[in-house]
Each structure stands twice: as structure tokens, then as C-alpha cells.
Structure 1
Amino acid sequence: MKKTLSILLAMAVLLFAGQAWAQSSIVVAQDDSPRMMNPHGDDSDAGLQYFANFFDGLLQRKGAEGTLAPALAVKWERVDPLSWKFWLRQGVTFHNGNPFTAEDVQFTFERLSNPEVSEFVNAGKSIDSITIHDDYTVTIKTKEPIPWFINNLHQTFIMDKEDTTTRDPGDVMVRPMGTGAYKFVEWVKGSYVKMEANENYWEGAPPIKKVEIRPITESSTRFAALVSGQVGMLTGVPVELYDQVKKNNQLEVVSKPARRSIFLALANTPGTPMADIRVRQAIYMAIDEDEIIEKVMRGQAAPAAQIPDQPTIGYVADLKRLPHDPEKAMQLLKEAGYEKGFAITLSGPNDRYIQDAKIIEAVAKYLAKVGITVTLDAKPKSIFFPEVNQGKLAFYLIGWFDGTFDMGRTYAKLAHTRDKERGFGELNGAGFSDPEMDALIESTMGMLDAKAREKALQDLNKMAMVDKITWIPLHYQMDIYAVRKDSNIAFQPRPDRWMIYKELSLK
């Protein structure tokens, strides 16, 4: 009898343990996949959100508002226009047990400038010196004033110097070793990434103990995996399936207006139609953005009048879109000498943004109505983005989200005349160039007075969006997620759309 009772008790314990383990685990279908596990080798949001689970930066962004908060640095101070001093968190260890110290910070920032392992080369080259005062105090000095330097440190992930320099470089590319909330378990490229909770994490062990991420890029397949119960959560709910997800009583939809804007970049090369501000205004006014949101985006977007959204430094709350007015657009074209229109190529990715290919199709139809003949050039992102970086495209659709929450960085990278030596205009693929804007962008770089700098950035934003038509804004995407109700997962979307699993909890 005692033996039978013992067996029954053991079975009950195992059953309870199994239920508890299931409740503290989650399988997620994500709409993007990592290229590698080297945290400096991929500067895309798709890569950074994976790295943020395995690594920490000196700072982090937390919660629904993306508030800047301490991470591996507990305190920081701007010593002068070029120098920042950091006091580091003590008692932190990497997943291999190595202690985190100032040497790891120095190694990390020096590594950024190595093009063989880093896509943050310009960030690395902007650093003049790194001074270690002791194991837990370090000063980083930049070559020129960078007002948003501190705002970008949540995505500069700290690596273990000893581990990175002694391991095979190929192994570093596929097996992350950080201080983050999760430890790497396994990665099968294209199939899944597995991770487990770091029980010794400096911020406390995360509630979800085991995470499996399945990158499924095809939207209907991703949705089927959720409905069938193969996964408990889905990122990137496609707008064409939104109504189906909403009606399914097994699922809960979680959505948040995104800070990622979708817009048209266009050149202003002298001698071309788009060098004339009236032509730029005409293109803007020919596009019926409300109809794009209603029919192409299925209502899951918000109209944009500028590129970064609030609470970005430099955001102008009362900035309005130019009205949709095709008759006025044709009048402007006539005044500019293009009464019979002209021909142009509109490029864009067909696998990066929500409904991207369909958006450029719609834009082409609107422009045709005012006499502009458009040749569409939709292509995979693997081809499109290198062409943008090489400056091969004069008119294209693209998206932008600046993780620094600072419009100065946006304009320095996307609107300043290309200047490789000084690090300006590196993402200005259309080659837009305006000396007046360049001067204003550069004048904000050394401003230490936060209020004066924000006012200058607001003036810059108005100049760009109203006086120059630097870009043609379309809309802000809606970030849509779906969670199975039986998964018991509590989830709040982040403004950067990153999936940070330490922030999830059990209901």
C-alpha cells in the first residue's frame, strides 16, 4: 500500500512539474529571421531584436514608451561635448561565467570599426578614444559632438573580450555569448532559435523559462501555425488576415501604432524634373494616402506628415500633410514645364514592409492620373537595399524607424548630402542634396542646450517637409500581434517592435 501511494505521489509530482514547465515555456512565430548571431554584424531591426535577448548594452529601452534606462551602466554623465563617462554595473557575469568589466566595453567599441565583423563601422570610426579608469569606470570620447550618442547605446551590445578573441571567428558568428536575460541553446538557420532563461541575470530571472522562435516569413503559414496551436504567439499579423484573426475566439489581437514610417525618397538632381519643388509638390498631392490606408493597408495604418513619429526629439505636433489634390498637381506640373508629364522609375522592396509592393503599385496609378508615367521596379530586399546604399535609385519606397528617438540622427543619415569621410548621408540613397539643410543639420550637432537643439530640429523638420519636400511621407505602420488565449502570456508591444522575452509574463 505504501509503495503504491509513493508511486502515485511521484506521478503527481511529475505531472505538476510538467504542467509548470509547459506554462513557463512559449513558442513564437516571428516574421523575420536572424542572419547571424554576431551582435555587431547585423544592424537591422530583425537582427537586433534577437541579439537583445542574449546581450545587454550599456543602456536599454524599456516598456511601451521605450524609456532609456540603465543596463550594464548604472550611471552616465556627459563630461564635455565629446566625452561621456560611464559607471558600470558590478557583479555581472557573461553566460560562460566570465566577469563583465570595463575591458569588455573597450573591446566592444573598438570592434565596431572592423568592417569584417561589424555593420556599425561609422559608429566605431566616430570614437576618438576609450579610457579605462578602473574595472568599473570608463570614458568614451568621440571625434565630433554626437548629441544622440547616449540614445543609441541600447543597440550596441557588449561582448566578452576573452571569449570573442579566443573562440573561432566562425563560432562567434553562430553562438552568442552575452550577459543577457536568455542563454543560447540552439539555432537551426531557417527553422528555429531556442533559448533558456539566465537564472543569474542581474535584473532577475525572466518569468518565461524556455523560448523557441520559429521564423516563418510566409504570412498564411505563420497564421496556420498559430491557429493549429503549433505556436502560442505570432508577430506581424498580415493585414489581409487581420479580420480572420480578430474573429477567432481562440486568439487575442494586440496592436500598437508603429513608429516606423513608410515614405518615398526622391532625388533632386539638377536638370531632372524632381529638382523643381513644384514637381515634388505635385507628386505628393497626386497620391491619395487615405485610400492607400483604406484599401491597401485595410485600415491598419495612420497617415504621416513627417518621418519620425512622437516622442522623437524634433517632432512637430501640428505639421500637416499636403492635401490630396490631383487638379492642383497637374497645375503645378504645367507651371514647371511638364504639362505632358514625364517618365520615371519607382523602386521598392517586395518582401520587407507591410504591403510594400502593393503600395508602389497604388502610387504608380495615382501618378499616371496626373500624367507621370511610372515604371515599377519591385525587387527582393536582398537586392533593393544594396542598391539604395550604392545610390543607384532616384525614386523609391522605404521605411524608417530611428532607435535613438532623435531626429538629428535621422536627418544626418537620410537627408544630408553624402559625405563618406564625415559620416553624413550614408543612408541618403537618392542623393538628395541641399546646402541650406546641410548647414542646419550640422549646426545642431554641437548644441548642448536640449531645448535650443529641439527647437532647431523642429525648424529643420518644417524646412524639410514643407519648404523642400525632402521626402513624401505616406503612413505609419500598425504593429499587430496575435496570442493564443490558452498560452497565458501577457504581452505589451514595444515602440521599436523588438521581441524582448524578459518583458513577457504569465497571467
Structure 2
Amino acid sequence: MRAGLRVAAAACALALVLTGLVGCSREDSSDTVVLGATAAPPTLDLTANNAAAIPQVLLYNVYETLLRVDDDGNLKPLLARSWSRSTDGLHYTFHLDDRARFASGARVDAAAVADSLNRMRSKDTIEVVSAQLAAVTAITARGDDTVDITLKQRDNFLLYNLAGVAGIIIDPAHRTDLARHPAGSGPYRVTGFSPGESVDLEASPAAWHERPQVARVRFSYYTDATSQTAALLSGDLDVITDLTTPQAVSRFSDPQRFTVTRGTTNGEVVLGLNNSTRALSDRRVRQAILMAIDRRGLLDVVWNGQGTLIGSMVPPTDSWYTDLSKRWPYDPAAARRLLAQAGYADGLRLRLRVPSLPYATASTRVITDMLKRIGITVVTDELEFPARWLDVVYTRADYDMTVVAHVEPHDIVNWANPDYYWRYRNPTFTRLIGQAASGPADQSTARMRQASEILADDAAGDFLYLMPKITVAKAGITGLQRNAASLSFDLTSLRRAGR
């Protein structure tokens, strides 16, 4: 770390030895706000890596999109001042804001937008992103200010996809080293990236909205939640973006020193089951696992009772939400009978490979104990996140069970991909998701609701709970988002008192 950082040297050294803490120091500058986060981005290239930690930093802050999702989950203009859709749903027209500029100073014109979106739907971009634009057949510039998008079939999710990673607009003249130097039109630009430690942003000289009121922002990453809490109490942090130790909320009860903001998220915490393994391909085994886990008890232990119980891959803020949290009630005796019916009366051994994140490791201890009571022996393995978990679980599906939060909006659609790491295959579910996307818009919600019910009935995974959004900031830090309706930790309205 650089010289000149204001730290209590002995305390920081001790923290490093005992906890593996990173980012425990900060610059002594009233123009800098330091944000403490948990999962660090392995790269800054959104086209090459699907880690949610990347858009947390970059989406809307460094990269902008034609439209954005606001704090309440509504679509709002951004690079596009307006848009329209044809009656048949196969043609969209976007009218750009002629004030928009990249950090380089170049104009965000229609050619740049078309170039970037065509890249996002190409084979050069990771499949999970390009798939969101799979219905698109052509993206063309018409003059400097108009972009036309043509589809081969209706896509009722297109606008929301364009408001996320699939819709980021990259400066076409500066995209050779996106892993370290993202090139967008947002209010901030990246000035430093230390993998696993920090990402530094500063106000873009070409910011075309209201100029940021905070000159510099640092995302500082912690491997230990307790140390992160201590850093805010000691003054080395200004904000904890997502408090992962809710038991610590009481330590920030003094309103003269701190502001605690509670909101909602899209973060479904899922006990993921590898549906392609011999044991877990049997629905009875999956049902037994779901009935063996007291999810309310787990939530009390892991999140101090905060968060929302869910029964499918749908948060209550989605229009197709149905309360399915009681579909598989806690019943260990019934779970043991199901295991016996499936041929595992003498027990079953499963590997639970989880990311090294506080909520996941805490959940692991509870799940291991509960499954042991019905005769399932759980072999646990903590994997460094994101790189190791992404390689072992997400890419190679070398696991039986895992625990991870899925924070992308409308991410239930991932269950329709049989190659996704859950390896889930259900033709009826897949058909409903397809019809919801490409069928009549007025039937989309009903079909999504049907799909969510199938996912619950099939015990495809155990949808443990919806993660709460708890943000803690020093008094005087304002403009922070309340909810996590998108993948972005939006800095657009960030303010520090007195500035």
C-alpha cells in the first residue's frame, strides 16, 4: 500500500495477521469517500467476467446505458432521452441525449452506441451477457442521435436487459484494456485497480450530468466482516455498502455518528443443487433436503432474523411474485422418509462447496447440522471468491451443493439454461420462460408466475431467503441508494456534508 496513508500502523498490522484484512487504510482527504465492500472484482472487464462485484463498481458510475433502473425498479432515461417500440414489438427506436460524452471527451453518438451494443451481443462477450440480446438481429445508427434495434421475435425483457450489463456503452476508441481501464461515459472514471484490495474512482472531467459532488471514491474490500465493521467505527471507512453482520447494527445506533439505511434487494440466497448428479437428479432427494432445513431458523442465525423468506427465484418486487415460502415446510421426519424411498435409508454423502463470503459460510454451518439430522453427511469446502468458486462451481459444476446470492434482476431465466451450473432441465419450465419473453406482453406476467411455481414444486434448489439491504454510513454522507434494484452501487447522488 502507498506511503502517506493514515492508519494506526500497529492495529492495521495486527488485523492483517489475524484476519487477512485488505483495504484497511484510507487516504486522509475530505474529497474522498471510502466504501467498504466484501466481494472484490477479479477484473474490470464486464465483457469477459460475470462477477457481480464488477457492475457494483462500474454500472452507472463509469459505464452508462441507454436507460437505467432506479431505486424503485423503474426504467428511467439515461443516454437515451426517449424511446419507442413498434406495435408488433420487433422494432425499438432510441433518441440519444446530445449532451452525453465519454470520459475521453468524445461524443456518445449513435455510431458508438451501435458499435458497443453489437459487441455485447457478439461471441467476444461472455454468453450469459450476450444471451440477453439473443433476440436482436440488427442494431444500426441513424444519423448522430438515433439508434434502431430490430428483433427476430418479441423480447419483453429487452429494456431491462439494456439497463444492465448487456447495455453498457463502451468508448470505441478506448477499449483495448478494459480489464484495468474501463472507458465509459459515467460521472466517474477508474484511476486505480488493485485486485482483491481496492478500486479507485475520480470525477470524470467530461461528466455530462451534474458534476459529482465527491471528487474521489474508493471501493475497499475486506475478507473479514468484523474487521470491516471495526474500520467504520474507527474512521478508516465512510460507508459499508452491504452490512453482512446484522448483529452489529446496534453498534451504529448513534445518529450523531452514523446513518443506517434498510432496503430490499434482488439477492436470492440459494442452496444450489447440482441436478445432474446421481442423487440430486432424484426429486425426492431434493425435496428431502428442502424439508430438512428450517429456513426461518437459518435466517435468525445468519441474518439476525432480517431478510425475507422466499420459495422460488423471485423477489416480492417482481410483478410475477407469489408467496411460495411455505411450499416445502420444515419436516425432518418427512425428509427422512423421502430419503428412504429414494434408496438412501442408510445415509447419503454430499459435497457442499461454498464461496468464502460471510453469509455463505455462516449458512453452511447451519445447513450441515440440519442435514446431518436426516442422515446426510455434508463434506464442506470453502472456495476463494470469486475466482476459485467461479472456476470450480460455476464453470465446471464440480459440486453437489453450494450457497450463493444471485443478485441480477429477473435471474429466474437462468434456470431455463440447462448448461448453467445448476444443470437443471425441465422442458415445461423452459417453454414458459420462452413464452413469457417472446409471447404477447399481456400474458408475460402470468407465464412467469407459472414458471416460478414449477421451479418451487420441482425442488430445483432451496431458495433460502432474500438478502436484506443494510447500508451504514458516517453521518453527513448522503445520496446513497436504499434498495438494490440493479447490480449497481449507484454513486450518482453521493454527497458529503459541507461540500
- Residue from 50, 65, 71 that aligns with 1:43: 50
Contact 1:30 1:217 in 2 (8 A): no
Q: What corresponds to 2:370 in structure 1?
A: 366
Rounded Cα–Cα distance in structure 1 between residues aligned with 2:44 and 2:401: 33
- Residue from 85, 101, 107 that aligns with 1:99: 107
TM-superposed CA distance for 1:301, in Å, is 2.9
Equivalent residues in 2 for 1:189-228 (5 A)? 189-198=195-204, 201-228=207-234
Contact 2:69 2:160 in 1 (8 A): no
Q: One-letter code of the match for 2:447? A: A
Q: One-letter code of the match for 2:326? A: K
Equivalent residues in 2 for 1:433-452 (5 A)? 433-450=425-442, 452=443
Flag the structure with higher helix content. Answer: 1
TM-superposed CA distance for 1:126, in Å, is 5.1
TM-superposed CA distance for 1:356, in Å, is 0.7
TM-score by length of 1: 0.82
The yes-or-no answer on 1:484 pairing with 2:484 is no
Q: Percent same amino acid at aligned positions?
A: 21
- Residue from 161, 182, 196 that aligns with 2:172: 161
Rounded Cα–Cα distance in structure 2 between residues aligned with 1:339 and 1:195: 57
Rounded Cα–Cα distance in structure 2 between residues aligned with 1:221 and 1:338: 43
Rounded Cα–Cα distance in structure 2 between residues aligned with 1:327 and 1:118: 44
Number of paired residues? 461
Rounded Cα–Cα distance in structure 2 between residues aligned with 1:321 and 1:259: 20
Q: What corresponds to 1:66 in structure 2?
A: 73
TM-superposed CA distance for 1:115, in Å, is 5.5
Rounded Cα–Cα distance in structure 2 between residues aligned with 1:77 and 1:234: 39
Rounded Cα–Cα distance in structure 2 between residues aligned with 1:100 and 1:298: 46
4+ residue runs over 6 A deviation: none
Deviations 1:231-263 (A, max 9, x none): 222223231661453356633322223320111
- Residue from 473, 491, 497 that aligns with 1:501: 491
Rounded Cα–Cα distance in structure 2 between residues aligned with 1:446 and 1:117: 23
Rounded Cα–Cα distance in structure 1 between residues aligned with 2:324 and 2:224: 38
SS at match of 1:373: strand
TM-superposed CA distance for 1:22, in Å, is 6.8
Q: What corresponds to 2:445 in structure 1?
A: 454
Equivalent residues in 2 for 1:45-194 (5 A)? 45-52=52-59, 53-63=61-71, 65-79=72-86, 80-113=88-121, 120-123=129-132, 127-155=136-164, 156-164=167-175, 169-170=176-177, 172-194=178-200
Mark the CA change 1:33 to 1:345 in structure 2 (over 3 Å): closer, same or farther.
closer
Q: Highest Rg: 1 or 2?
A: 1
Contact 1:95 1:179 in 2 (8 A): yes
TM-superposed CA distance for 1:23, in Å, is 6.2
Q: One-letter code of the match for 1:357? A: T
TM-superposed CA distance for 1:201, in Å, is 3.5
Contact 1:208 1:501 in 2 (8 A): no
Q: What corresponds to 2:391 in structure 1?
A: 386
The yes-or-no answer on 1:316 pairing with 2:306 is no
Mark the CA change 1:257 to 1:311 in structure 2 (over 3 Å): closer, same or farther.
closer
Mark the CA change 1:273 to 1:105 in structure 2 (over 3 Å): closer, same or farther.
same
Q: One-letter code of the match for 1:285? A: M
Rounded Cα–Cα distance in structure 1 between residues aligned with 2:412 and 2:217: 38
TM-score by length of 2: 0.83
Q: One-letter code of the match for 1:253? A: V
- Residue from 319, 330, 338 that aligns with 2:344: 338
Contact 1:76 1:86 in 2 (8 A): yes
Deviations 1:144-180 (A, max 9, x none): 543211101122211122333xxxx23x432233211
Mark the CA change 1:163 to 1:332 in structure 2 (over 3 Å): closer, same or farther.
closer
Deviations 1:91-129 (A, max 9, x none): 322122211111111110222255656563434665422
Mark the CA change 1:326 to 1:66 in structure 2 (over 3 Å): closer, same or farther.
same
